[in-house]
Amino acid sequence: MITLPLSYLERHLFVEVQGQKWLLDTGFPTTFGNSTSLRLGGDEYPVANSGMGITVDALTEHVPVEMVGLLGMDVLGQYDFVLDLPNHRLLLSREPIEREGVTLDLDEYMDVPLVHATVRGQELRMFLDTGAMISFLQKDLVSDLEPVGSFVDFYPMHGTFETPLFELEHELGGVRFVASAGVLPEFLNLMLSLAGADGVLGNQFLVQRPVLLSLRNRVAVLLDPHPKDEGGPEAAP
């Protein structure tokens, strides 16, 4: 088991590897950065200098945190992993991680995980995207609602965009939570539809509850937010 420090900065998840911060993004298929390689325990992975046309320098214009790169699903998908923000740690294992909790079926598209969530009484197939600060829904699901404000976001293949902002109850496997949600531009909505998805589930729910993801076993588990499992946070070799 590899245990690494995990933090929540500027509404994004960052994992610290050998003293350097990597933005942890389950919604991004590839890892890239200013380092030529990434070592996790005894495993070493090559790192490209850009992903989908974006570099670390461009990324930090929108996420003002000093980082060495973005950790995507090409690497994360090799492991079972637990995103444990309440205890400030990321757990990674080549072996299956067994934990009790609320179990969800997990699908994937280009290695990016999808879960089924219920919003406003509709069951939606949503990308589980830790790189998304808020959730995103199809326009017709919120067309009868008054927004509580607006939100400016960024997507590599589109650039900066502004969306009306809504506060909505989400449900995952019977677990309910309120999270902010917006509407994607038409181009990005089309990309969602082509992937067979109805929306994007952002990272807000992770702040209060650890989540186990296993792309290999196609399962996600919402864990108890209070007790720690065995072993405290330790730096990986």
DSSP state letters, 89-155: EEEEESSPPP--EEEEE-EEETTEEEEEEEETTEEEEEEE-TT-SSEEE-GGGTTTS--SEEEEEEE
Query: CB atoms < 10 A from the CB of 152, how many?
Result: 11
* pLDDT at residue 112, rounded to an integer: 94
* pLDDT at residue 97, rounded to an integer: 96
Domains in the chain: boundaries: 2-96, 103-213
Q: Which CATH number is correct for 103-213, 3.30.1490.190, 2.40.70.10, 3.90.226.10, 3.30.70.20?
A: 2.40.70.10
Place of tokens 């000093």: 66
* pLDDT at residue 92, rounded to an integer: 98
Six-digit token string for 150:
């607006």
* pLDDT at residue 227, rounded to an integer: 57
Mean pLDDT by 10 residues, the chain (237 residues): 97 97 97 96 95 92 96 97 97 95 95 96 96 94 95 83 96 95 89 90 93 96 73 43
Q: Looking at the chain, how many residues does it have? A: 237
* pLDDT at residue 228, rounded to an integer: 54
From the number of C-beta atoms within 10 Å of its C-beta (0-12, 13-18, 19+), residue 73 rates as buried
